[in-house]
Amino acid sequence: MAVPTRHVHRCISLLVSCSLSLLLLSGCAVGPDFVRPEAPPVSHFNRGGDPAETPAINGVSQRFEHHASPSAEWWRLFGSRQIDSLVTRALDENPGLQAAEASLRQSQANLRAGSGIFYPQVSAMFSQTREKSSPAVTGSPLAGNIFNVTTLSATVSYSLDVFGGQRRAVEGLSAQVDQQRALALGAYMTLSGNIVNTAIAMAAYRAELEEVEQMIAFERDQLGIAEKQYQAGLTVYAGVLALRNQLAALEATRPPIRQKLSQSEHLLATLLGKAPAEWDPPAIMLSDISIPSRLPLSFPSDLVRQRPDILVAEAQLHQASAGIGVATAAMFPGFTLNASYGRTSPVMNSLLDEKNSVWGLNGNITAPLLNGGTLAAKRRAAIDAYQQSAALYRQTVLVAFGQVADVIRALEHDAELTQIEAQAVKDTSLSLDLVKVNYKSGLVNYLQVILADIQYHQARMGYLQAQAQQLQDTTALFVALGGGWPNDSRAGKMVGMEPGE
C-alpha cells in the first residue's frame, strides 16, 4: 500500500510559511557589522622617509624598490641551489607546517558544521516495542495484557534566526577559518625564513672555522720560532709564554664556533622534519650565497593586508565583533518550528494504513525574562573583548611597522660595517704582500710575515661576520614584509587561496 504524503506536505508547507513570515520580520542581525580596520595613515616606515639604497660595497649596493611586494619564492634571490633545495624540502616535510595545515582544515570543517544550522533538521525513526500493561495503575481489577507497538516517523525542525544570533555565530566560525589560514601562512613564512637564516649561519660558522684554523697554524709557527730563538739565547722565556697564552686564547675560540655549527646543523635537520642522527648537512659555502641587489619595500597600507600576524589579529578582532552579536541576540526571544509525521501500529502488516498515521506541528518561543543580569553582563564582556582585540590589533600593526623600520636601518648599518671590514681585508692583504716581498729581500724576518698573516685572517673573520649579518638581515626584511605569500601559488594552494587574493 502506498504511503499517503498529503499530511507531510501540509506540515512542511505550514512550517515553511511560518518560517518565511518570521524571517521577513527579522531584518538584520543584531550587533555590529565588521569592517576591516584602516591602515595607519603613513607612507613610509622610517622618520624622514625610507632610503633608496644602502652604502655600496665594492661598488655594489642594495636598492630598495619602493611600493613593491616580496616575490614568490623570495629565497631564490640568494642564488644558492642548496638553499632552494632545503626550503622546498622543508615545505614538504616540516611537521609544524603540516600541523598548521591540519588546523586550517579543522576550522574549515567546523565552519561547514556550524553552517548546517541554517537548514531544516530532518530525522527519521523506526522502533519496535513489546510491552505488558497493568490496568492496576488506574484502579482496574482487570488483568494486564501484552502488546506490540511499531512506529515509523519523520521529524522536521527549524530554528528561526530572527535576531541573527546564529548568523553571528557562523560569522565567528568564518573568522576562525581566516585566523587559522593566517597562522598557516605565518608558519609557511617563518619556516622559509628560518631555513635561509640557518643555512647562512651554518655557512658562516664553517668559514670562520677555516680562518681560525689558519690563524692557529700561523700562531704555532710563530711559537715554534720563538722557542728556537729562546733556546739559542736570542730572546727571553717571557716572550715564549706570551705566545703560548696567545695561542691558547685563539684555540679557545674554536670550540664555541664548532658548537654553534653543530646547533645550526641540528636545527636545520629539525626544520626539515628529520632527527639530527638521520640527516647529513650539506656543505654550504658562504661564498656561494649572493646578497640580493634589489629589495622590495611594500606600502605600509599593503603590509597590513599581507603580513600573517596582522591578519591573525584582524581575524581575532572579527571574532570578537561577531561575539557581540551572539551575546546581543541571546537577550531576545528564540523561535523554533517543529513538524512530525509517522505511522504507529500494533502489527507490522497494518503499519502503512492511513488510519495509523500520526502527525504534529508546533512552534516554540523562548524568551529570557529574569536571569540576574547574566545576559547583559555577557554582552558587556563581549564588548570589552572587542575593545581588547582592537587594541591588540593596533599594537600588532605598530610592532610590525617597527620591525620593518628596524630592518631597513639594520641593512644600512650592515652595509657600512661590511664596507669597513672589506677595506680592512684589502689593507691587511696589501700589508701581507709587502711584508712577504721584504722577507724575500731579507729586510724582515719570518716572524713578521706570520704576524701580518694573522692580522689578515683576523680582518677576514670580521668581514665574514659582517657579511653573514647582512645576509640574515636581508632575510629578515623579506620575513618582516610578509614573506611574499600573496604571489606564491604554492602558499595559495596550501591555504585554499588564489595568488593575489
- Is the Cβ–Cβ distance between 170 and 179 less than 8 Å? no
Residue 21 is assigned to a structural domain of this protein: no
Reduced to 3 states (helix: H, G, I; strand: E, B; else coil), residue 279 is coil
227-263 as b/e, with b when 16 or more CB fall inside 10 Å? Answer: bebbeeeeeeeeebeebeeebeebeeeeeebeebbee
Residue 126 is assigned to a structural domain of this protein: no
Give the Å distances, CA to CA, from 451 to 139, 220, 461, 467.
119, 11, 15, 24
Domain of 448 in residue numbering reads as 32-119+164-331+375-494
Residue 370 is assigned to a structural domain of this protein: no
Residue 286 is assigned to a structural domain of this protein: yes
CA distance 438 to 354: 120
Quick one: which of 184, 244, 256 has its CA closest to 216? 244
pLDDT digits (tens, 9 = 90+) for 267-290: 999 999 999 999 999 999 999 999
CATH number at residue 47: 1.20.1600.10
Which mean pLDDT values do the consecutive 10-residue runs of the chain (501 residues) have?
48 51 58 92 91 89 91 93 95 94 94 91 90 72 78 91 92 96 94 96 95 90 87 84 89 95 96 94 93 92 94 97 95 92 87 86 90 94 97 97 96 96 95 90 84 91 95 96 81 66 54
In the prediction, which pLDDT does 133 show? 75
Residue 26 is assigned to a structural domain of this protein: no
In the prediction, which pLDDT does 8 show? 47
CA distance 197 to 284: 12
pLDDT digits (tens, 9 = 90+) for 8-47: 455 455 545 554 554 444 456 899 999 999 988 999 999 9
- Is the Cβ–Cβ distance between 462 and 280 less than 8 Å? no
In the prediction, which pLDDT does 10 show? 54
Reduced to 3 states (helix: H, G, I; strand: E, B; else coil), residue 361 is strand
Give the Å distances, CA to CA, from 163 to 19, 170, 271, 273, 328.
13, 14, 49, 49, 9
Residue 125 is assigned to a structural domain of this protein: no
In the prediction, which pLDDT does 486 show? 77
Residue 158 is assigned to a structural domain of this protein: no
- Is the Cβ–Cβ distance between 222 and 292 less than 8 Å? no
pTM over 0.95: no
Total structural domains in the chain? Answer: 1
pLDDT digits (tens, 9 = 90+) for 151-165: 999 999 988 888 999
For helices 165-231 and 254-271, angle between their N-to-C axes, nearest 10 degrees: 150
CA distance 320 to 172: 8
Residue 311 is assigned to a structural domain of this protein: yes
